[in-house]
Structure 1
Amino acid sequence: MKFSQTFELLPFLDTTLSLAAAFVLGALIGAERQYRQRTAGLRTNVLVAVGAAAFVDLAQRIAGTTEAVRVISYVVSGIGFLGAGVIMKEGMNVRGLNTAATLWCSAAVGSCAGTDMLAEATLLTVFVLAGNTLLRPLVNAINRIPINEQAAEATYEVRVMANRSAMPTIRELLVDRLEEADYPVSDVEIIEHGPEKVEIVATLVSTAIDPDEIEAVITEMEKQEAVTHGTWEGSTKN
């Protein structure tokens, strides 16, 4: 049996310590994720950390430090596929990015444990937990700050409802008025609303606006007999 030839007590104990450290540290990270009811919770983060530690430890025992470094690079790229599985797109919103980043960090913790750098693995775990807990109040505080329309990078649309028969004239007038206000138009879309009404949607090139200037343009457009009403909206970039 090759087991009797390959088994060495001290290296085995070393591997046991590495895997145990990866298990405990991964559990700490995963417990916080589980408490937050995230897609990748306790078990997933533990398995990622232990798996990374096992691969790195195995490479180091078989071929030394050079191959361990090579395996670490594979772990970094491989965990990307796992992280992609927890990222979900819902309309304009993307969810799961933080969970995917946490899995990436769990793999880093496991890699440190696999190379017997237990102090570094513990330190990294502290930083990961701090990032997911201590920064949460700061994130909430920032999210409650009203967006400054003049400073935000966003896509802005000016919408005007008009009679179908007057659409070409109103469309040209809207573009002219926006350009006179120094808001060039990148695209104009016509949306039909029944047999008599159309909605003219002008997308602005600008990524920052003065709301008062846009309101002035809309007020002028609403003075036109063929225009029912006008409005504008902006969607901030993520």
Structure 2
Amino acid sequence: MPPDATAFTFGELVARLGAATLCGLLLGLEREWRAKDAGLRTHALVALSSAVITTSALSLYAAVRREGGDADPLRVIQGLAQAIGFISAGTIFVARRNVRNLTTAASLWFSASTGIVAGAAQFTLLAVAMGFGLTILIVMKLFDRVGLQGGEER
């Protein structure tokens, strides 16, 4: 019998994918306020995609284990981390000793991690991480304005 890729209930899938999408939207909203290229849609899609892949990996893992097979969903998560690193690197520009969009690249990587965590249904971890992530993006920007931070995105 083939692995059942729909091992989660509809409600569980909506919660996982909805949480990831919401986190991606919140992160993207902050980037939109800063007029950055990667905004609402990009961050939401990165987070949602990560949640879809993580949820699928966990579902397939459970199905394969029920059939007596051996699978490792951590490989999928590792692949996601590498892939988003590649995509994020494409947002960074270096010109005349100025590095641009480094925070946007990091926020894309963070968006992917929120998707992974939401896909794994680790909602407490997701809430705490989002609190810290949004604090870094929003509150720390205030330090840029008063000259207390290096300000990689001027």
Q: TM-score, normalised by structure 1?
A: 0.55
2:18 corresponds to which residue? Answer: 20
Do 1:22 and 1:110's aligned partners in 2 also have CA atoms closer than 8 Å?
Answer: yes
Does 2:87 align with 1:110?
Answer: no
Counterpart secondary structure, 1:47: helix
Counterpart secondary structure, 2:35: coil
Does 2:137 align with 1:132?
Answer: yes
What is the CA-CA distance between 1:78 and the residue it aligns to?
Answer: 0.6
Pick one of 121, 126, 148 that aligns with 2:126.
121
What CA distance in whole angstroms lies between the structure 2 residues aligned with 1:47 and 1:90?
29
What is the CA-CA distance between 1:126 and the residue it aligns to?
Answer: 1.4
What is the CA-CA distance between 1:6 and the residue it aligns to?
Answer: 4.2
What CA distance in whole angstroms lies between the structure 2 residues aligned with 1:26 and 1:132?
13
Q: Which digits, 9 at most, give the CA deviation of each residue in 1:64-108, with x for residues without a partner?
A: 496322211111111011101110112111101000000010011
What is the CA-CA distance between 1:143 and the residue it aligns to?
Answer: 5.1
Structure 1: give runs of 5+ residues left out of the alignment: 146-238
What is the CA-CA distance between 1:42 and the residue it aligns to?
Answer: 0.5
1:228 corresponds to which residue? Answer: none
Instruction: Identify if the C-alpha distance between structure 1 residues 40 and 89 changes in structure 2 by more than 3 Å, giving closer, same or farther.
Output: same
Q: Which has the larger radius of gyration?
A: 1
Counterpart secondary structure, 1:53: helix
Do 2:6 and 2:59's aligned partners in 1 also have CA atoms closer than 8 Å?
Answer: no
Letter of the 2:30 counterpart: E
| Larger proportion of strand | 1
Do 1:57 and 1:68's aligned partners in 2 also have CA atoms closer than 8 Å?
Answer: no
Counterpart secondary structure, 1:89: strand
Pick one of 50, 53, 58 that aligns with 2:51.
53
Instruction: Identify if the C-alpha distance between structure 1 residues 6 and 139 changes in structure 2 by more than 3 Å, giving closer, same or farther.
Output: same
2:33 corresponds to which residue? Answer: 35
Letter of the 1:74 counterpart: G
Instruction: Identify if the C-alpha distance between structure 1 residues 14 and 138 changes in structure 2 by more than 3 Å, giving closer, same or farther.
Output: same
What CA distance in whole angstroms lies between the structure 2 residues aligned with 1:144 and 1:87?
19
Do 1:83 and 1:103's aligned partners in 2 also have CA atoms closer than 8 Å?
Answer: yes
| Larger proportion of helix | 2
1:203 corresponds to which residue? Answer: none
Q: Which digits, 9 at most, give the CA deviation of each residue in 1:153-183, with x for residues without a partner?
A: xxxxxxxxxxxxxxxxxxxxxxxxxxxxxxx
What CA distance in whole angstroms lies between the structure 2 residues aligned with 1:32 and 1:134?
11
Instruction: Identify if the C-alpha distance between structure 1 residues 7 and 61 changes in structure 2 by more than 3 Å, giving closer, same or farther.
Output: closer
What CA distance in whole angstroms lies between the structure 1 residues aligned with 2:8 and 2:61?
17
1:142 corresponds to which residue? Answer: 147
2:72 corresponds to which residue? Answer: 67
- Write the mapping of 1:1-238 to structure 2, written as runs, cut at 5 A: 6=4, 10-64=8-62, 67-142=72-147
Letter of the 1:49 counterpart: A
Letter of the 1:93 counterpart: N
Q: Kindly report the root-mean-square deviation, in angstroms, between the aligned alpha carbons of the 2 structures.
A: 2.4
Counterpart secondary structure, 1:105: helix
